[in-house]
């Protein structure tokens, strides 16, 4: 998992930053939460494309945030 984190954290943070700016939610927090969620997957070895899976997690976390936050 550390190698996966090192390999993808910057591009995941850039992706998140492109969607939410500097927050909230904080892009780095989204990346950390995505990896925590990935670590909780029952059989992470069965994930065919971990990079795509992580991007989907970040997208879902952003969507969840905006669903919870009232529109301004």
**Selection from 17, 48, 45 nearest residue 31 by Cα:** 17
Dist CA 57 CA 30 (whole Å): 9
8 A C-beta contact, residue 38 and residue 50 = yes
Give residue 71's pLDDT band: very low, low, confident or very high (50, 70, 90).
low
Domain boundaries, given as residue ranges, for the chain: 2-68
pLDDT digits (tens, 9 = 90+) for 18-54: 999 998 999 999 999 999 999 999 888 899 999 999 9
Dist CA 54 CA 58 (whole Å): 6
pLDDT digits (tens, 9 = 90+) for 6-19: 999 999 999 999 99
Dist CA 68 CA 65 (whole Å): 5
């Amino acid at each position: 998992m550390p190698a996966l984190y090192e390999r993808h954290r910057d591009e995941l943070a850039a992706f998140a930053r492109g969607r939410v700016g500097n927050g909230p939610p904080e892009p780095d927090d989204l990346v950390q939460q995505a990896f925590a969620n990935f670590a909780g997957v029952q059989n992470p070895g069965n994930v065919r494309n971990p990079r795509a899976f992580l991007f989907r997690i970040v997208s879902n976390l952003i969507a969840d945030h905006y669903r919870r936050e009232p529109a301004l």
